[in-house]
Amino acid sequence: MTIRRDIRRFGLAMLPLLLPWGAAVQGAQVDIGPELSRLAEQQGFTVTGAEHVAEAVGRAEGDEPVRRLRLLLERFDHIIVQADGGGIERVIILGRATPGAVIPKTAVGSDSGAGDNAEGGESGAVIELGTIRNGGQHSVRVTLEGAEGSRIERVLLIDTGADTLVLPESLISALGIDEESLGSREVQTANGRAQARVGSLSGLWLGEQRIPDVDVAFLGDDGLGSTGLLGMNVLGRYQMTIDDETNKLTLTKR
């Protein structure tokens, strides 16, 4: 399955409820919630975060499904997940975009000035990382920072269905985390709800960009395997695009 995920600033609008998918009405204004529900039923995709568009109104135009959804959601940060053949599999709405926000063009690793102590400031606001492809899934290499600055490099599956960063329990001691400091709670993953031990990492590095104090959930190795999940408590900080053709993840600081 080929998956393309975007988080863009697009405004919610679409064709009126009685019009077929291919009928273009340039600039038509619609209630976003009902129109999004209609399109989801018609095209067979699921919607997460629909509460963010309650009572919102947007424009409806364009014939191509993904473009129409992007225009529909132009004033909201969102993710569109596509399957092979261009069909839409899932739409995730993260919230209303910040008005007037400018997307910086500086890339980490160029002249951004984001050095070893960068902590998600203005410098290095765009992160580009190569992904590791396994069928329709993409993974990315990150660095986990534990107690006393210890670091472990790890390949994590990019998972927009996970609420948080998820790691195998076997890494708790490797990261120097005191097990008694961990709590317990149920977390949401792409495979459903699971009981986890929860705490925080001192930091997580995406290339040269450091995110401090990242919440993490540890699951048993038998259920998670040797991998981990890069979830929305990290990904949701950025506008995100995965390019299937070049196997590249681009993260733009929101």
Of the pLDDT bands very low, low, confident and very high (cuts 50, 70, 90), residue 213 is very high
Q: What is the pLDDT of residue 60?
A: 80
Pairwise CA distance, residues 78 & 71, whole Å: 11
pLDDT for position 192: 67
Strands 137-145 and 192-206, by their bridges, are antiparallel
Residues 6 or more apart in contact with residue 50 via CB below 8 angstroms = 33, 36, 37, 93
Tokens encoding 126: 């765009």
207, 9, 66, 129 alpha-carbon torsion, rounded to 10°: 0
pLDDT of residue 17: 29
Give SS3 for 109: coil
Bigger pLDDT: 18 vs 150: 150
- If residue 74 lies in a helix (H) or strand (E), which one and from where to where? none
Question: Sorting pLDDT into bands at 50, 70 and 90, what band is 163?
Answer: confident
* Ranges 3-17, 81-95, 129-143, 161-175: which has the least confidence: 3-17
Domain segments of the chain as ranges:
7-96, 126-253
Top pLDDT among 153 and 163 is at: 153
Is 126-253 in CATH node 3.40.50.720?
A: no
Tell me the pLDDT band of 75, cut-offs 50, 70 and 90.
confident
Query: Residue 200 and residue 202: Cα distance in Å, rounded?
Result: 7
Please give the Cα distance from 213 to 221 (Å, whole number): 23
Greatest mean pLDDT among 12-16, 188-192, 231-235 = 231-235
Question: Is pLDDT larger for residue 171 or for residue 23?
Answer: 171
Q: pTM (2 decimals)?
A: 0.57
* 137, pLDDT greater than 80: yes
Nearest CA among 195, 200, 191 for reference residue 229: 191
Please determine, for residue 229, whether its predicted confidence score (pLDDT) is greater than 50.
Answer: yes
The confidence score (pLDDT) of residue 14 equals 30
Buried b (16+ CB within 10 A) or exposed e, 122-143: ebbbbbbbebeeeeeebbbebe
162-197 as b/e, with b when 16 or more CB fall inside 10 Å?
bbbbbbbbebbeebebeeeebeeeebbbeeeebebb
Q: Give the largest CA-CA distance in the chain.
A: 61
Give 249 or 28, the one with higher predicted confidence.
249
Domain 7-96, CATH: 3.55.50.30
Q: What is the pLDDT of residue 97?
A: 65
Instruction: For residue 239, report the phi and psi dihedrals to the nearest 5 degrees.
Output: -80, 130
User: Residue 96 pLDDT more than 80?
Assistant: no
Same fold for the pair 7-96 and 126-253: no
CA distance 65 to 22: 9
Find all residues with CB under 8 Å of 88, minimum gap 6, and list them.
43, 44, 45, 65, 66, 69, 80, 81, 82
Query: Can you give the length of the chain in residues?
Result: 254
How many whole angstroms separate alpha carbon 26 and alpha carbon 15? 9
What is the C-alpha separation between 223 and 217, in angstroms, rounded? Answer: 13
